[in-house]
Amino acid sequence: MPQNITRRRFLRQVNCAAISALPILNTLLNLKLAGNVAAATTGNTDYKALVCIFLAGGCDTFNILVPTGAEYSDYATIRGPVALSQDTLLPLNSTAQSSTPLGLNPALTNIQQLFNAGNAAYVTNVGTLIQPVTKDEYNNGTISLPLGLYSHSDQQEQWQTSTPDIRSAHGWGGRAADILQSLNTLNTVSMNISLTGQNIWQCGNNSYVYTVNNTGAVPLDGYDPTNTDPWSALPIRTQAVNSQLALQYQHLLTQAFNNSKNDAMAAYTLFNSATSGALPSSVTFPANSYFSSNMQMVAKAIAGAPSMGQNRQTFFIEYDGWDTHDNLIATQASLLPDVDATLAAFYNCLVAMGLQNNVTVFTISDFARTLTSDGGGTDHAWGGNHLVLGGAVNGGQVYGQYPSLYANNPLDVGRGRIIPQIAVDSYFAELALWFGVSPSSLSQVLPNIGNFYNTSSGTPPVGFMA
């Protein structure tokens, strides 16, 4: 029988509900109970995925992409004890826009082959910028610079948000997902899948990060509907959880929280079912490698995308260990072979699945590092070089002008800290447009893109994507 609800009684119930719900409110927000936003897309529903490899700590990318010709002497002079031997560098067939002959770190034999075959490219001297900067403007303090320039935490955030003028909890991958998520026929599993926990890059206003590990989605502790052992406590716990999930609550936030738990269980079941298949037997990934095992799970999730109703996916993997204040050469010699072999295996896996043109891998990092050395390592710097890999990449080229490396050159603001000439906005805009964001929606994903690129120009921001 309906009850007469007075204004006072209504307010009392609302206030009590609000107070009792405070402990779970943050959880509800994190689970993104808000509905999907209207999507502004290019109308393209073919499958595409972006795989972001975050080299955490600030990768010294001037010991990854190195001049091999006359400019090598400048490199060797300023790098001193951390310079690689010229005769160990792996030559690249073409440097395209860059007029400097370049080679790769000797550990990157597979990347060299992928580059020379046209399946990989490098973007040189890319970094965080609010607007283009000259050396005089930097020295005179007459132009705005990224917040916390040279700071790990600030630059890690800005490479993921592409908003170096403000601090934000939303990344450009998440903002792209806000726009494109309606291309997926199911949203049981988020299109933003992380192999290494929560991150800013994939956080949007209405899209969220779905975290898994290298074995799949993480199960609810003490819950196993397949266990029927009468001597085990698991069936009893599972039955109790199922009973709780089946309840209907009058309290709106409590019911919303229960719905979110049901959604999480559905996502767990769907993801693990979709990724249960074996990868092509013709491909061998490196053994005993955390990075490799994560990339194998990415490959399984890509293969399982149709089962999850996903035409768009993003993946995030954080790879630690690149903060080389000392032992630069030895550290990279231990890390780069893993990166090299794993990315080659991943690309070969995509080829075996016929999806090499549908998936693009790209690297980011906090910053590059100083050209000068503190002995065996290097310090925090600015612009650096990054890899893009995939069948849709206009490969075999280095995009941008590789900077001069002699001391106090026109881009050197001290200790070999190089002013970027390609903004991360342009780098990311190229990827976002390929992913399906329309030029008219690009500023929603990259708010500062207008400072570097005319979205109505009809030309690509950098040119490395087909």
Which residues, 6+ apart, have CB-to-CB distance to 359 below 8 Å? 48, 49, 50, 51, 302, 350, 390, 391
For Cα atoms 190, 427, 379, give the angle at the middle one, nearest 5 degrees: 100
With bands split at pLDDT 50, 70 and 90, how would you rate the model's confidence at 260?
Answer: confident
The arithmetic mean of pLDDT across residues 391-404, rounded, is 96
Res 305 pLDDT > 70: yes
How high is the mean pLDDT of the chain?
A: 90
Return the closest-CA partner of residue 44 out of 176, 177, 184.
Answer: 184
pLDDT score at 1: 40
Identify whether the C-beta of residue 453 lies closer than 8 Å to the C-beta of residue 422. no
Taking the C-alpha atoms of residue 438 and residue 420, their distance in angstroms, rounded to an integer, is: 26
pLDDT digits (tens, 9 = 90+) for 192-208: 999 999 999 999 999 99
pLDDT at 261: 86
pLDDT in tens, 86-135: 999 999 997 655 678 999 999 999 999 999 999 999 999 999 999 999 99
pLDDT at residue number 45: 56
Q: What is the pLDDT of residues 212-241, one digit of tens each?
A: 999 999 988 888 888 899 889 999 988 998
Buried b (16+ CB within 10 A) or exposed e, 178-196: bbbbbbbeebbbbbbbbbb
Helix (H, G, I), strand (E, B) or coil at 21: helix
**Residue 28: band (very low, low, confident or very high) from pLDDT cuts 50, 70, 90:** very low
Is the separation of the CB atoms in 422 and 439 below 8 Å?
A: no
What are the E-state strand segments in 162-208?
192-194
**Cα(441)–Cα(176) distance, rounded to whole angstroms?**
9
Q: Any idea which architecture 33-216+275-451 has in CATH?
A: 3-Layer(aba) Sandwich (3.40)
* 389-402 mean pLDDT: 96
437 closest CA partner among 206, 182, 176, 171: 176
Structure confidence at residue 99 (pLDDT): 75
Selection from 322, 330, 320, 412 nearest residue 375 by Cα:
330
